Amino acid sequence: MSSQNCAGLDADPLLEEFQYPTMFGEAEVFALETDEGVPVRVLYVAGGFQSATFLGERRFDPVFEYYRAIDCVFDARPSARRLLMIGGGAFSYPKHLLMSEEERLEGASIDVVEIDPAIVDIARAHFFLDEVERAHGPEGSGRLSVVVGDGAEVLRCAQAGRYDVIVNDSFSGTDPTDGLLSAELLDAARSVLTPGGLYVVNAVAETLEEAEPFACSLRRAFARVYLLPCPDEEFDGSSNNLLLASDEPIELPGLTKL
């Protein structure tokens, strides 16, 4: 699963509310309004907000800045077209990637691994994954593959050089999935990437010091590690950052080399 900060949401009153059992405990799905009066539906599991989506015409727009920031991989590596995302949550980033009309995202495909089948069902029922699958799943363009399973096993079994980008957005409640940053699995990820490929981690950290443990793990497998802050102007209080790792230099505005 994935995790975000929802500090800019007005939790009173709720517009709707649903509850579902999952392998991580009870999941709550509820809709409310932002400070700007725009309705947003969120997924809350195990003490943390996991995903969010706008409703209505804006349902494919990213709610959080770090979703938009992930698009930087196509600026850093313009030829990148094959992505693996570990931690689907409510499929907010894949939805944005596949339903966007931006030219730089055109033709990109994404395999999304989510360990909990209940979360995938919730994403289909409440977060428009069903609509995205009709357009881009196996019966559509073929750009989306949904894998219900363990991201660690996917990395161990994937073909060498299969992906240009790996996005690690895997959380258990509010805690990152530490095992995915083990030396074994980072080595596996490196072998699964094409030469110069990017490994991207969503790191919830208030300071550079808090991000350092993530960076230290990445430096054991990759030659270069960078931090890209993702401050959220609409939902202030967000502490998401992207860590980008590669064996080749990455040149993007706003990057800090770690």
CB 6 within 8 A of CB 42: yes
What's the pLDDT tens digit per position in 180-227?
A: 889 999 999 999 999 999 999 988 777 788 888 889 999 999 999 999
- Mean pLDDT computed over every residue of the chain: 89
pLDDT value at 236 more than 50: no
**Which residues constitute the domain of residue 34?**
9-58
| Residues 49 and 165 placed together within one structural domain of the fold | no
Residue 123 phi/psi, 5-degree rounding, is -60, -40
Residue 54 and residue 69 in one domain: no
Same domain for 73 and 44: no
CA 211, CA 162: separation in Å to the nearest integer? 28
Indicate whether 1 belongs to any domain: no
Quick one: which of 75, 119, 121, 127 has its CA closest to 96?
127
Total number of domains in the chain: 2
Domain boundary (58, 74, 92) is at 58
Asked if the structure places residue 3 within a domain, the reply is no
**C-alpha of 82 from chain center:** 15
State pTM to two decimals.
Answer: 0.91
Say if residue 81 is in the same domain as residue 41: no
**Domain check: are 46 and 86 in the same one?**
no
In whole angstroms, what is the distance from residue 92 CA to residue 3 CA? 11
List, in order, residues 6 or more apart from 78 with CB less than 8 Å away.
104
Residues 108 and 156 in one domain: yes
Same domain, 99 and 54: no
How large is the average pLDDT for residues 75-100?
96
